[in-house]
Amino acid sequence: MQKRRYQLLVILLLVFGPEGLKAQEKSSTGFVWPGGKKAAVCLTYDDGLDCHLDVAAPALERHGFRGTFYVTGNSSSLQSRTEEWRELAARGHELGNHTLFHPCHGSTYDWVKPEYDLDSYTLERLMSELYTANSLLKAVDGREERSFAYTCTHHTIQGVSFVEQVRTLFPSARGGGDMPATMDQVDPHYVPSWGVEDPSGEELIQYVKQAMERGTLAVIMFHSVGGGYLNVSSEAHEQLLEYLDQHRDIFWVEPFQQVMQHVSQQLSQQLNQ
């Protein structure tokens, strides 16, 4: 056992430098990732776009990974390519709830239509639309349970948070904000993520390395892949996947819901100790 630990420490030092040793120290203080991994990575894709079927999912699968695709109910791709989305889910990807109409705060983004301004909503309307979106996605993939992603990471209506209401419909939810320094800071129903726009492959790699250094998780929010709005180039996306593929002993790469099931179990165990 001591020999194996020494070998791991040497590998961490050679591959990641002193930061790898720090991650090893942190991993032994409480929270544990499966298989002795040092961090989790969730690759998430928003809005249900054609490029997710054509570019992102095939790239993930070439490396043996599965992602989470947060699909809006009014996605034109979902409407016209329903069977392909069904097949994507059957291959192990997660279809997550991203609302019916993608409401956001109109005071923040001028592209928000007045009828979908989150501050014009009532809580009852929002929850009804989330329930309906769940029903729609169940008709596609047959699954009873899925995670949620706050649109534009917004989680208030007229200044009042609806995170507590989200808890009643979803086991976990992706929000926005800085990567957690420790796992005991994570609320499974508002998990921080990085929404990228034209990142380099090296920037993406540095982000997951930061999660390794902290022993926490890196949740990346992609939109377009290979061309479009809030884009990541196919090359940068592939560079990240290659890096994660080469370091499977360090990073646990799984869909958001699966990772958060483990997180919730670990946090519950710590509370009960």
Domain boundaries, the chain: 1-30, 34-272
Are the C-beta atoms of residues 243 and 164 closer than 8 Å to each other? no
pLDDT recorded at residue 50: 98
In total, the chain counts a number of residues equal to: 273
Average pLDDT over residues 230-239: 98
User: Which of the listed CATH numbers 3.60.150.10, 3.30.1370.60, 1.10.8.420, 3.20.20.370 matches domain 34-272?
Assistant: 3.20.20.370
Q: What percent of the chain has pLDDT over 90?
A: 86
Nearest-angstrom CA–CA distance, 248 and 73: 34
Identify the bridge partners of residue 110 per DSSP, sorted by sequence position: none
pLDDT recorded at residue 150: 99
pLDDT recorded at residue 270: 81
**pLDDT one-digit tens code per residue, 19-32:** 444 444 444 358 99
| Of 99, 100, 127, 104, residue with least CA distance to 117 | 104
pLDDT recorded at residue 236: 99
Are the C-beta atoms of residues 210 and 218 closer than 8 Å to each other? yes
pLDDT recorded at residue 182: 96
pLDDT recorded at residue 3: 39
pLDDT recorded at residue 171: 98
Residue 2 above 80 pLDDT? no
For residue 262, what are the contacts with CB-CB under 8 A and spacing of at least 6? 33, 34, 40
Are the C-beta atoms of residues 245 and 55 closer than 8 Å to each other? no
Does the global pTM surpass 0.75?
yes
pLDDT recorded at residue 30: 84
Mean pLDDT score of the chain, rounded to an integer? 91
pLDDT recorded at residue 8: 38
The residue that leads in pLDDT, 272 or 40, is: 40
**pLDDT one-digit tens code per residue, 159-215:** 999 999 999 999 999 999 999 999 999 999 999 999 999 999 999 999 999 999 999
Identify the bridge partners of residue 217 per DSSP, sorted by sequence position: 40
Average pLDDT over residues 79-92: 98
Pure H helices in the chain: 2-16, 18-27, 50-51, 57-62, 76-80, 82-90, 123-141, 163-167, 201-214, 234-246, 256-272
Q: Hunting for tokens 């005071």 — which residue is that? A: 107
pLDDT recorded at residue 272: 79
Average pLDDT over residues 252-258: 98
Banded model confidence at residue 41, pLDDT cuts 50, 70, 90: very high
